[in-house]
Amino acid sequence: MPTPSATGGNHPGSGRSVPRPTRLAALVIALVAIASAALPVPAFVPLLVLGAITGCFLVDFLVARRRVLTLERTEPETLSLLVPVPFRAAVGGLGEARSVRTRQPVPPTLAVQPPWVNGDLLEGELTGRHRGVHELPPVTVRAAGPLGLASVDHTVGTSRDVAVFPDLPRARRLAAARRRGKATDEGRVRVRLGLGTEFEMIRDYTQDDDIRQVNWIATARVGRPMSNQYRVEENRDVMCVVDTGRLMASPAGAMSRLDVALNAVAVLAVAAEESGDRVGALAFEAKVTRQLAPRRRGAEAVVRALYDLEPVEVESDYERAFFAVGRQKRALVVVFTDLVDDGAARTLIAATPVLARRHAVLVASCTDPDLAAATTRPPRDQIEVMRAAVAAELLASRRRVVVVLQALGAVVVEAPPEALGPACVGAYLRLKQHARL
């Protein structure tokens, strides 16, 4: 949640006080020059006027430099990736300044809109453009003196660290929508938790019961419809295995494939937590880089363990990662990776049996919107025809990978970037419903 903070400025080392002439000063000097050229005045008169202007400029600069400014800035503790939050920076202590410009500098990994305003109050939105911990610099204020001839840049406040996480609030909204049994616009998650697999009791049939619950033997024995009541199994393990190799650096819409995967991990982890299952995570490239054992109420721990991952320009070692997971007790292992083509997925296909012998395996990958557009948009020239042919070949190769993985016993989930998380949750719930976990 955003929290307000009040900090002082103009302390030693907060910035240089460099005098800057304002537009008014430039206009006055220009008028003096024009008047000196147009009017028959002695040469010393313009010099005296310029000396007076210079003196006023220095006085104005000294007054502007000696101001002690304060800052009240609404600083978010955390941000969700590409989700804007309200931002406010109010500067005090400006007194009789003729003009003020307030600006919030940000690194390329953050964005502020608007970046600056004329005045002492900057209100807008702060957006995290990249996961990880980023520095939010102090606010910069350019304030003119009381005469309006000189201005000074002040650095107000201190730098603060801002952490950008995958979109965990959206994952919790989706979980709340599932609890209410309502569809949402964000992926239209309609799958409800299944009938359960652990037998609990036999009871009278109700009109809301699924036909699969009817106990026909008990019905024939007592002469009225009877139903089996099942208890949904809990305490299962869900392991999110995230590939951070070179393929996950490629873009998928406005984000990278790794960003999409981590957003989907957040959605799936929250759903598993809501279902009473334990959630863990493992990240790998050529080696295992992060590992978190499954735990109860582990969604936030999983997100915090993975939020600052970056793709690495190496080939991913699926066999090593799957061997690390395979030693644990039976779980649903969800592998977030990229299914480019059968050549790039050869090592994934070779390593999948290591997991499938003991665990339920789900392979999740986002589709490429550019490839889909290239094959569906009517070509306008020869280049677009060739592009469509290449895209069609890549999609056909991807389908071959999916068929092979399914033959090895894995469930494959493919969805657009914004719908990958809900699609994974749907597959997870169906596996629970069919007692595959």
DSSP code, position 39: S
DSSP code, position 419: G
Gap between the Cα atoms of 187 and 370, Å rounded = 20
Cβ atoms of residues 289 and 247 within 8 Å: no
Whether residues 337 and 417 share a domain: the answer is yes
Whether residues 413 and 356 share a domain: the answer is yes
Give the CA radius of gyration of the chain.
Answer: 32
CATH of the domain at 69: 2.60.40.10
Cβ atoms of residues 109 and 163 within 8 Å: no
Whether residues 161 and 221 share a domain: the answer is no
263-291 burial: b if 16+ Cβ within 10 Å, else e: bbbbbbbbbbbbbebbbbbbbbbeebbeb
Gap between the Cα atoms of 434 and 191, Å rounded = 13
Give the tokens for residue 34: 């024009």
pLDDT at 194: 47
Query: Going residue by residue through the chain (437 aa), what tens digit of pLDDT does each one get?
Result: 455 554 444 443 344 456 777 777 777 878 777 777 777 777 777 777 777 877 887 877 787 777 778 889 987 888 999 899 999 999 988 776 677 889 999 999 999 999 999 988 999 999 999 999 999 999 999 888 778 787 888 888 889 999 999 988 888 888 887 776 644 444 444 444 445 556 678 999 988 787 888 999 999 999 999 998 876 556 789 999 999 999 999 888 888 999 999 999 999 999 999 888 999 999 999 999 999 999 999 999 999 999 999 999 999 999 999 999 977 788 999 999 998 877 778 999 999 998 888 899 999 999 988 887 888 888 888 888 888 888 888 888 899 999 999 999 999 999 999 999 999 999 998 888 776 66
Whether residues 268 and 280 share a domain: the answer is yes
Per the structure, how many domains does the chain have?
A: 3
Whether residues 128 and 205 share a domain: the answer is no
Q: Which residues contact 210 (CB under 8 A, 6 or more apart)?
A: 195
pLDDT at 187: 42
Domain that holds residue 208: 198-231
Whether residues 209 and 253 share a domain: the answer is no
Residue 261: phi and psi, rounded to 5, are -60, -40
Query: Final residue of a domain: which of 231, 252, 283?
Result: 231
Whether residues 300 and 329 share a domain: the answer is yes
pLDDT at 231: 64
Whether residues 103 and 185 share a domain: the answer is no
pLDDT at 8: 44
Whether residues 32 and 88 share a domain: the answer is yes
Whether residues 428 and 320 share a domain: the answer is yes
Residue 126 buriedness (CB in 10 A; 0-12 / 13-18 / 19+) = buried
Gap between the Cα atoms of 344 and 195, Å rounded = 39
Gap between the Cα atoms of 326 and 201, Å rounded = 35
Gap between the Cα atoms of 48 and 87, Å rounded = 49
Cis peptide before 42 (omega within 30 of 0): no
Gap between the Cα atoms of 152 and 141, Å rounded = 8
DSSP code, position 249: G
305-335 burial: b if 16+ Cβ within 10 Å, else e: bbbebebbeeebbbeebbebbbebeebbbbb
The average confidence (pLDDT) of the chain is: 84
Whether residues 35 and 129 share a domain: the answer is yes
The DSSP annotation for 276-334 comes to: T-EEEEEEESSSEEEEEEEETT-HHHHHHHHTT----SS---HHHHHHHHHTSSS-EEE
Whether residues 154 and 113 share a domain: the answer is yes
- Helix or strand or coil: residue 387? helix
The DSSP bridge pattern shows strands 100-103 and 332-336 to be unpaired
Cβ atoms within 10 Å of 432's Cβ, excluding its own: 26
pLDDT at 18: 64
Residue for token pair 């699969």: 212
Q: Which residues contact 400 (CB under 8 A, 6 or more apart)?
A: 342
